[in-house]
Every structure is written in C-alpha cells, then in structure tokens.
Structure 1
Amino acid sequence: MKTARVAYKGNIHEAIEWYGKLQLDTGAIVSEDDVVWLPPIVPQTIFALGLNYADHAAELSFNAPKEPLVFLKGPNTLIGHNRETFRPADVTYMHYECELAVVIGQSGKNIQEKDAYNYVAGYTVANDYAIRDYLENYYRPNLRVKNRDTLTPIGPWFVSADEIKNPMNLTLRTYVNDSVVQEGTTKDMIFSIPKLIAYLSSFMTLNKNDIILTGTPKGSVDTKVGDTVITEIEGIGRLKNTIISEPVYQ
C-alpha cells in the first residue's frame, strides 16, 4: 500500500493516491497542490550510509569501505515533497543524493541477515543533500554537512514492503531542472539492506520507524538557488524539491 502524510486546513492526515488526487483519512478528495506534504513517517533514529556505492566512492577518490560507514541524522533535517531546501550563501558545492530509505517495522536486536526483511515495514525516497564545503572527512561527516535544517527531503510516499518484490534491484534517478544527472541501481550497494540491518542490530536495538538511508550512486552535481531537483526510485515515487537562498528561508 502507498500512503502519505499531509497537512490540510490545519490538520495532519494520512492520505492515499486517488486517480491523480489524494484521498484523506476523512474520506475527502483533495488536489495534491492543496496540501502541505510531510515526511511520510514520523522517524525515530535516522541512520545514514556514506560511500555505500563503489562508483560513488570512486567518484570522490575514496576506496570502498570495508564495513558500513554510518552516521546519525536529527529529525530537523527532514522535510516533505514539494518543499524548499536552503543553500547557504557562502557555499561553493551542494549536491543531491538520491537514496532508498528503509523503514523499520518492529523492534529487534541481533537480527540475522536471513530474517532481516521481516523487520522492514516499507520504503520511501530520500534526497540527502551534502555541502562539500563543510566536509572535514568523508569517513566522518560532521554535523554541518548532514544535520542542517531542511537538508533531507523525504517522500512523497511510504510504500509497504509487500509491494516491492526486490528492493535490491531498483533504478534510482535524479533530475535537475528536468535533465537526468544521476542514474544507478540498488543492486550496486556495497552493503545490502539485510547486511545493514544485521550490522546495526548487532550492537543496538532497531525500533519501529527507524529509517536507514542506504547511500547514493555516482553522479553528484552542484545545485544552485532556483534549481528544481527530483529524486526518483522505481516503484516508490518521485520526490520534488526546490533550492532557495538562505535569506529567503530565514
């Protein structure tokens, strides 16, 4: 099932697709442009993977990591579909990262790879922007790179796990102003979804609504104020975002 979270007339609703429109949990049918899109999941812990595609690691002149490179993100970073992300005025390189987001459906610890998908509720699309100017070390991204407000659009849809036959064989694409700038496939992840779940749960409990952002393939391009960025994952959806200047955001 495909669901979304939206704000409409001052209230928050769950919604489903309805012939090009949205059906709210009240039964009302509304236009997609009449709502404010929210992150489709209210997150618990947000895990993010660095360098989880060998081609992206090579693009940045790094060797592929031998174990998952994981860092944490705060919920302040997440915004919904059709929303705006600000670009600080002083930066020289800010790029998108189209990522498959895995949503955990139940608590578990020491989960075996063979059982990992039993703990997945579903999937959504994330665009985890990075500001290279602030990067001290690609193996240890600092707070200013990955925890800035508005820097991670996510959505529009949460797609239940039963609707995705093979999450390890999905095409990812990014468009900037309608031109394709990034294309890859989840089958090229260095650490698969089951491996990531087994790794994380080996030393900590994973909980319902934890989110794992699984990394991005090669194709990072600087984005500018005014750019419209769409990150798309096969079978899951198209996430639209616009970059604005920091003074406008403030």
Structure 2
Amino acid sequence: MSRALHDVATGTLFGVALNYQGLLNQHLAAFNEPPYKQPPVKPVLFVKTPNTRNQHDHAVVYPQGIEHLQPGPALGVVIGKDASRVSVEDALDYVAGYTIVNEFSLPEDSYYRPAVKAKCRDGFCSFGPELVPTSQVANPQTLDIKLWVNGELRQSNSTANCVRSVAQLIAELSEFMTLHEGDLLITGTPEGRVDVLPGDRVEVEISGLGRLVNHIVAE
C-alpha cells in the first residue's frame, strides 16, 4: 500500500508550523516582543524539498556533527484535485485521503522563518504506510496522534487541538495559491518534541491510519 501512496502523493510537501494550540501558547510571550510584536495571523508555511521524501520502515539518517534530531508526528492530507480559492465548507471535497507523516527536523531557532538547513535534510519527511481514503475518516479533527520511541510513548495529542482544521488550512492556502492533485499537506506537529539517537526505532500512530515506523541510523 505504501507504494500506492507514494505514487499518489507526488506533488509538493507543504508543512504548517505552530498549528497546535499548546505549541502556540508556549511561544506567545516571544511573539509579542520585537520585531514582530504579535503572533502569526496566517498559517506559518514551510516546504519539505523532494530530497526529504522517505517511507515506512526506511532508515532516517542522523547527520554528522549535530546535537539534536527531533521527529515530528503529524497528520498528512493528500490533495485529490486542484484546489483554488475553495471555501471551508467545500474544502474536504478536495482531499483524496489521509496518511501519517513524521516530519524530522533539527531544533528550530525561529518559527517565523523555519530553517531550510534544519528541515530539508535527505530523508527528513517520512510518510505512510498507506493512503486512507476520506470515506474511512469520519472527522480528521478527532484523531489521536502518538509518538513512540523504542516502544515508549513520548508524545500524545489529538488533532482536536489544532489551531486550524484541515478544511480551514485548505481554504486559507488556496486563497493565494493552487493546491495541486498529489500535494501533501503536513498539518502540524504537537508541542513536546523529543530527541532521538542512532539505533532508535521511531513510530507514529494516528487512530484509524495505522503506524509509521522508521529507524534512526548514524551517517
């Protein structure tokens, strides 16, 4: 099934930062300081470049010379048809299905300007194991999301705590750019990111979507 998913999700990988209420709350004080003096009012976007693509049960390389590598469990939304200026009410009609994403990153200095060097290393965006069609997901905003490292639960949250729903994200992004069939929207990682090391087995579980497994290996 993972091959079918990667045949469907062939487009751009769009990430959304700060889309969990708990994570946003942690940073509110910093956002109110110069130079910005307010929290972001629109989705904070970043792109995972094509070299980051990775799959279920594949290795993720721990780069030489870094101190921290952090997995990022997230709900992935695969766009099923081109979406331009769609309404919130119609947005989910443009979704082909859902999958699990583990959006690996080095620690970030600024959420206003997610760093390419931190987020776009080879293999830093794993997704799978399969595409679950929309007909099998009654509500994408009621899904439990969990991160396990070596069998130990390290993060637990719910898509109910997202700042913006899947439908809101699609509507807001399609206001200014067309989302194309095959694009993958990474809807955000919850607060409480953890560090992983070479030798670790990392699993992301989302209710109804299965488990995405990756192994961390030294460069």
Q: One fold, TM greater than 0.5?
A: yes
Q: Which runs of 5+ in 2 are unaligned?
A: 32-38
| Cα offset, 1:204, TM superposition | 1.0
- The Cα offsets for residues 27-79 of structure 1, whole Å up to 9 and x where unpaired, read as xxxxxxxxxxx846442121101111021234567556322101112121011
> 1:49-88 counterparts in 2 under 5 A?
49-59=16-26, 65-88=40-63
Identity %, equivalent residues:
36
CA distance in 2, matches of 1:232, 1:40: 22
RMSD: 1.6
- The Cα offsets for residues 2-45 of structure 1, whole Å up to 9 and x where unpaired, read as x431xxxxxxxx4xxxxxxxxxxxxxxxxxxxxxxx84644212
Tell me if the contact between 2:9 and 2:78 (Cα under 8 Å) persists in the aligned partners: no
For normalisation by structure 1, the TM-score amounts to 0.80
Query: How many pairs are equivalent?
Result: 211
Which residue of 165, 171, 193 maps to 1:220? 193
Amino acid in structure 2 at the alignment position of 1:150: G
Residue 199 of structure 1: SS of its match in structure 2? helix
**Does 2:173 match 1:200?**
yes
CA distance in 1, matches of 2:9, 2:194: 30
CA distance in 1, matches of 2:143, 2:66: 32
- The Cα offsets for residues 102-154 of structure 1, whole Å up to 9 and x where unpaired, read as 0000012110000001000100000001101xx34221112111111111111
CA distance in 2, matches of 1:116, 1:42: 18
Match in the other structure for 1:110: 85
Amino acid in structure 2 at the alignment position of 1:94: L
Q: Which structure has greater strand proportion?
A: 1
CA distance in 1, matches of 2:177, 2:41: 20
Q: Which runs of 5+ in 1 are unaligned?
A: 6-13, 15-37
- The Cα offsets for residues 199-244 of structure 1, whole Å up to 9 and x where unpaired, read as 1110111110111000011221111111100001000110000111
The structure whose RCO (Cα within 8 Å, separation 6+) is larger is 2
Residue 93 of structure 1: SS of its match in structure 2? coil
